[in-house]
């Protein structure tokens, strides 16, 4: 069974500082991994996706994530935080292949940016 | 414009009064899904559909029904709503191919309050 754990329900960083949001997954088959962002009063939008190609995945708005199989992790980073990055971030996992059905989400991490 | 449309955006109802939340997508996606979002719990999948007339339970299906008579529509039905179904609901759809899920497109959400 698949599962996703996001460490830290709330992360606060200063503007210009490194952003690191942690995600660990559990999957019995090679996973597809996703990061989604949710801005206030909106639905979720895809930031980036890992599908077994390159282990370092670049997404929109300067975010990237690295797939580490040995650590079962897929942490999200951004070198320099911007005020507009304040949002809730969700890590998600699904199985690859045509039979893929469920997409399991983590509990989310709220990112706050201090001026 | 590619989009997932949910209606209504806000709904207040009373215990036991049947309601339907509609969801429609214009992208010819095979996969559609319903989630509920609750503080500290992230998104939990209620039901999903792999194609027309093919639906299956997610992680929290109790008290909900769905139907998929047409590819574009995937309504969520609460036959007898209860206060524990007060939540923010999201519909989502995605394109699936032999390699698995493409990204999920989310609706704007339906905030449901059951009194």
Band of residue A100 on the pLDDT scale cut at 50, 70, 90: low
| Alpha-carbon gap, residue A3 to B103, rounded angstroms | 18
Hey, is A62 helix, strand or coil? Answer: helix
DSSP B41-92: TEEEEEEEEEETTEEEE-S--TT-EE--SSSSB--EEESS--GGG-EEEEEE
Name the helix (H) or strand (E) containing B26.
none
| Alpha-carbon gap, residue A47 to A49, rounded angstroms | 7
pLDDT at B102 over 80: no
Mean pLDDT of A48-68: 89
B107 touches chain A (CB under 8 A): yes
* Among candidates A42, A104, A106 on the partner chain, residue whose Cβ is nearest the Cβ of B108: A42
Q: Checking phi first, is residue B98 left (phi over 0); if not, alpha (psi -120 to 50) or beta?
A: alpha
* Among candidates A45, A100, A108 on the partner chain, residue whose Cβ is nearest the Cβ of B101: A100
CA distance B18 to chain A (A): 25
Report the DSSP pairing between strands B110-114 and B10-13: parallel
User: Which residues in chain B (18-37) have CB-CB distances under 8 A to chain A?
Assistant: 33, 35
pLDDT at A21 over 90: yes
B109 touches chain A (CB under 8 A): yes
Neighbour tally for A84: CB within 10 Å: 9
Contact (Cβ atoms closer than 8 angstroms) between residue A109 and residue A89:
yes
Band of residue A97 on the pLDDT scale cut at 50, 70, 90: low
Q: What is the pLDDT of residues A25-49, one digit of tens each?
A: 988 777 889 999 999 888 889 899 8
Mean pLDDT of B28-56: 92
| Alpha-carbon gap, residue B81 to B64, rounded angstroms | 9
Minimum mean pLDDT range among A17-31, B12-26, B58-72: A17-31
Q: Which residue has the higher pLDDT, A101 or B62?
A: B62
Integer angstrom CA distances of residue A103 from A61, A112, B14, B84: 23, 26, 31, 23
Minimum mean pLDDT range among A65-74, A88-97, B78-87: A88-97
Residues 6+ apart with CB under 8 A from B21: B6, B7, B8, B11, B75, B76, B78, B89, B91, B110, B112
Instruction: Give the end-to-end CA distance of chain A in Å, rounded to a whole number.
Output: 41
């Amino acid at each position: 069974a698949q599962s996703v754990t996001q460490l830290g329900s709330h992360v606060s960083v200063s503007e210009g500082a490194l952003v690191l949001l942690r995600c660990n997954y559990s999957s019995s088959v090679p996973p597809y991994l996703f990061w989604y962002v949710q801005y206030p009063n909106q639905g979720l939008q895809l930031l980036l996706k890992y599908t077994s190609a390159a282990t370092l995945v670049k997404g929109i708005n300067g975010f990237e994530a690295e797939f580490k199989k040995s650590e079962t992790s897929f942490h999200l980073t951004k070198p320099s935080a911007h005020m507009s990055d304040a949002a809730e971030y969700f890590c998600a996992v699904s199985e690859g292949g045509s039979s893929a059905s469920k997409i399991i989400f983590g509990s989310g991490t709220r990112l706050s940016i201090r001026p | 414009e590619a989009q997932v449309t949910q209606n209504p955006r806000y709904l207040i109802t009373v215990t036991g009064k049947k309601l339907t939340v509609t969801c429609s997508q214009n992208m010819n996606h095979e996969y559609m899904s319903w989630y509920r979002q609750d503080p500290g719990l992230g998104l939990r999948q209620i039901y999903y559909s792999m194609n027309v007339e093919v639906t299956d339970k997610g992680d929290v299906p109790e008290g909900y029904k769905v139907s998929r008579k047409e590819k574009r529509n995937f309504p969520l039905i609460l036959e007898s709503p209860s206060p524990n179904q007060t939540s923010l609901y999201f519909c989502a759809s995605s394109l699936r191919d032999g390699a698995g899920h493409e990204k999920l497109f989310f609706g704007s959400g339906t905030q449901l309050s059951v009194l």
